[in-house]
Amino acid sequence: MHTSSLIACGLLGSLLGCSSPPPIQTASEVDLERFMGDWYVIANIPTFIETEAFNAVESYRLNDDGTIATTFTFRQGGFEGQQKIYRPTGFV
């Protein structure tokens, strides 16, 4: 009897864990100007570009055509390492 109760509780817990959360609502409007400027990277999950990146800063500027000019700078390998600069373009 004790074993069957444990199995029943385990099955019930498994089924309750399978429910999916409601979908996330998207914002109807975003104030992009609010996010423009310098953002200092204090924690991240590094991509292959960011391996051994120190003093990373991402700078964002809204262009007239609606795209976002991005400048990503960091020091490679240490605080005195070679400075790397990437300039991707973003959009919303």
Asked whether the beta carbons of 57 and 40 are under 8 A apart, the reply is yes
N-to-C CA span, the chain: 59
> Which tens digit of pLDDT belongs to each residue from 30-81?
898 999 999 999 988 888 888 899 999 999 999 999 899 999 999 999 999 9
Query: Which residues 6+ apart lie within 8 Å of 36 measured at CB?
Result: 60, 61, 62, 68
> Which tens digit of pLDDT belongs to each residue from 1-18?
578 777 777 676 676 666
